Amino acid sequence: MKKKDTELLAKVIRYCNEINIIMKDCDYQHFAEDYKINYSCSFALLQIGELVNKLSPEFKDKYSKVMWRGIRDFRNIVAHEYENIDMTRFWNITQEDVPELSAYITEILENIEG
Residue 111 lies in a domain: no
pLDDT at 95: 97
Residue 80 lies in a domain: yes
Q: In whole angstroms, how far apart are CA 113 and each of 6, 43, 63, 105?
A: 10, 29, 16, 12
Residue 48 has pLDDT above 80, yes or no: yes
The percentage of residues in the chain with a pLDDT greater than 70, rounded to a whole number, is: 97
pLDDT at 2: 82
Residue 82 lies in a domain: yes
Residue 21 lies in a domain: yes
Q: Check: pTM over 0.75? Answer yes or no.
A: yes
Cα Rg of the chain, angstroms = 14
**Mean per-residue pLDDT, 38-42:** 96
| 3-class DSSP state of 85 | coil
Residue burial 35-74, b: 16+ Cβ < 10 Å; e: rest: eebbebbbebbbbbbbbbeebeeebeeebeebebeebbeb
Residue 82 has pLDDT above 80, yes or no: yes
The percentage of residues in the chain with a pLDDT greater than 90, rounded to a whole number, is: 91
